[in-house]
Amino acid sequence: GKLAVTLGAQGNLEEARRLQEQVVNGRRALFGDADLETLRAINNLAGTIASQGDFTEARELLASVLATTCREFGEHHPDSLTTMGNLAAILWQEGDRAEAYALQQQVVEMRRGERGEDDEATVAAAAVLEMMERDPGY
């Protein structure tokens, strides 16, 4: 897991993806698809895939993770909200600005309700929403 993240940060996306796929496959075999750490590993893999420019595959992975996380842990769970934010970013990259904005707005509202205005994750989500509002393509 951590080695793959480091490799990705260093720009070695192919090797990072290969390792992340191994982690995901291993976790699925041992713990199943609904395990929280498995879902986090898939979320990380989706980020690497998006960094490689394959937004369609990344979106599909994130949508699947989001559905499972919401079903198993609830839509207000921090991992559900993180995945929603990641999915919003992918939708934005794909040019689906309205859906991305609506999803990010939902993330901000839910984080405010769960953690309050000053929570680090709430502040970060609100900053992304503000960036979306300032983007001339919106």
Each residue's pLDDT tens digit, 24-35: 999 999 999 999
What residue type is 30 in one-letter code? L
CA distance 110 to 102: 12
Mean pLDDT of the chain: 92
Each residue's pLDDT tens digit, 77-127: 999 999 999 999 999 999 999 999 999 999 999 999 988 899 999 999 999
CA distance 51 to 67: 22
pLDDT value, residue 11: 73
User: For 2-134, CATH number?
Assistant: 1.25.40.10
* pLDDT for residue 135 is more than 90: no
CA distance 129 to 85: 10
Token pair for 80: 């559900």
